[in-house]
Structure 1
Amino acid sequence: MGPLVKAEFRKIFTTGVWWGMLIPVAILSFFASWAGTALGAVQEIQDSVGQPLPLGLLTVSMSTNFCTVFAVLFGALSYSSEHNNKNITTTYLTGNPRGAVMGAKLISYANLGLLYGLVNLVLASLGALLGAGLAGFGNPADWFAVGAAGLLSMMLWTLLGVGLGAIITNPPLVIVTVLVYKFFELVLAPFLATSEWSELAGYLPGAAASGIVGNIAVPVFIRAVAGDNEQNVPAEAFEFLHFTFGGTYGQPWWASVLTFAGYAAVAVVGGWLLSRRRDIT
């Protein structure tokens, strides 16, 4: 397995896909987090409370959820491009069985997903620091929790991309599929949230993924505002913050992790099963 993992890292770093997708992550993370600290409605809450609030945690959550699209595209394009360029033939012939190849890819791309998450966390935190100051991060333990959740989210999105790339081996098609679904969920989620099936909204792939970070950051912010009166905060306040910064009201972060990890696992297993049967000649 070790040589296969080394080969995967070599293939990753000899192409431009990994840094091509990482550049927009760095730029968007910083500017989205910086701009998020100036959001009018949240600033009004801070002014009314009369003390600094952990706004930076919210903007780190928002930046993470904006940037995950580049992680999933990176994973999907890297795998599907190997099929498109016929490089996968040599990989499968020298790395038999194919399950070992998939395992090596998951290990290597999980590490690159963590790199994406780390770049996002650092740049988003810098943007929040510029906009909200050091007081905007609250308790250091909360920042570490939000940061760790962001790393996990990026890694799972990257692995989901690997699975999609194994299923859809045409690079343009996998890009279109990811972007179309992202748009579809943006339309579907508000509809579900206001229907009799509102409980299902948090279990859509994108909503579950955003909850990995948002369902930690938003409750921390609410506790900072309400203190001991957290139970008296209306649901509308939670819903507004979740809509803006990610997550779903009433859903714990660990449920979001399990839900999205399930989607990623289904994609990976589906890609593995198809790759076992796919003709590479």
Structure 2
Amino acid sequence: MGGLLVAEFRKTLTTKLWWALMIPAVLLAFAFSLGWGAFANGLDEVLGSSEMRLIAQALGISTGTLPTGLLAIGHGINVGLTFAVIFGVFALAGEYRGRTITTTFLTAPNRVSVLAAKMITYVVWGAVYGLAVAAVSSLGIVFSVNNSGLPTAAQWLWVFAASMLAGVLSTLFGIGVGAVWNSVVGSVVTLVIYLLLIENTLVLFGYGQWDIAWLGAVLPNGTMNGIVGAIGAQAFGAAGVKLPGLEEKTQWWLQYIAGAPGAVSWWASALVFALWTAVFFAGGWLVNQRRDIT
């Protein structure tokens, strides 16, 4: 296993892919957190001063010290981790495309050990992606959010930890999708369209037209985003333990502003997304036990 792990790390470090995807990930993470940070500063105007006072009173703090930065940082992290998903796709599907999978399988004791080595390697890479996008997203809200609205040290630590967890699961999710699909192009195009367009449209339409508030709590993109986004929502009493007097509509829109519409809590989002990841990863694992490599 040690040799397989060394080989997997060499495969990633000797190619341009890891930093070619990291660059747009951190740039978009910074841009989104910066833009949403500026938006979060005007939250009084968005929700109405009476609702903001209600939230602040229920939390036992003044309106001006609400951690609005937590509502913005999740957007930067979430869009950045889309590239972690894409990076994961290349783990196995990329080897089939480059026709290196035959050598990989034939020089290893068995296919199970190869997939296990890839999983361990990309767990590390997922954590790196999560750490990187959390760092630049933090920088984005520092530049755009008033000092009084920045997270506390403890909240920032939670965000970094949640981002690394989301990065690990996102990368493994990408491996699973790529392994099942066995196509880099097909997997990437499908994932990007689904994660950024289809599911977001479905969640917004579902709530606006059918009053279905829980879609984001069960679908892949919503649960991936909810790992970090729900931390911001929970800080405003819009997830986890609901604040008394907080209307359902206000709660959902606070979740949306935090990047986690429908989220119950960060740990529930992590659990559901881990189930999605396990389903695709197990499916890819099974498919590749029988797939012809000649």
The answer to whether the superposition gives a TM-score over 0.5 is yes
Q: 2:199 maps to what in 1? A: 185
Among candidates 111, 116, 122, match of residue 103 of structure 1? 116
Aligned residues: 276
- How far off its partner does 1:180 sit? 2.7
5 Å matches for 1:46-195? 50-182=63-195, 183-193=197-207, 194-195=209-210
- How far off its partner does 1:179 sit? 1.9
**Paired amino acid for 1:187:** T
Native 8 Å contact 1:56 1:128 kept in 2: yes
Q: Does 1:26 align with 2:40?
A: no
> Matched residues in 1 for 2:285 and 2:137: separation?
34
> Matched residues in 2 for 1:53 and 1:263: separation?
34
Among candidates 209, 220, 227, match of residue 224 of structure 2? 209
- How far off its partner does 1:221 sit? 3.3
Native 8 Å contact 1:77 1:174 kept in 2: no
> Matched residues in 1 for 2:218 and 2:121: separation?
28
- How far off its partner does 1:202 sit? 1.7
Native 8 Å contact 1:192 1:201 kept in 2: no
> Matched residues in 1 for 2:280 and 2:103: separation?
23
> Matched residues in 1 for 2:134 and 2:88: separation?
19
> Matched residues in 2 for 1:50 and 1:272: separation?
51
> Matched residues in 1 for 2:119 and 2:263: separation?
32
Q: Name the SS for the 2:186 alignment partner.
A: helix
5 Å matches for 1:255-266? 255-266=268-279
Runs of 4+ in 1 over 4 A off after TM superposition: 45-50
Q: Name the SS for the 1:232 alignment partner.
A: coil
Unaligned runs of 5+ in 1: 224-228
Structure-2-length-normalised TM-score: 0.87
Native 8 Å contact 1:57 1:217 kept in 2: yes
Structure-1-length-normalised TM-score: 0.90
Q: Name the SS for the 1:231 alignment partner.
A: coil
Quick one: percent identity of the two aligned structures?
36
Higher helix share: 1
**Paired amino acid for 1:55:** T
Unaligned runs of 5+ in 2: 54-61
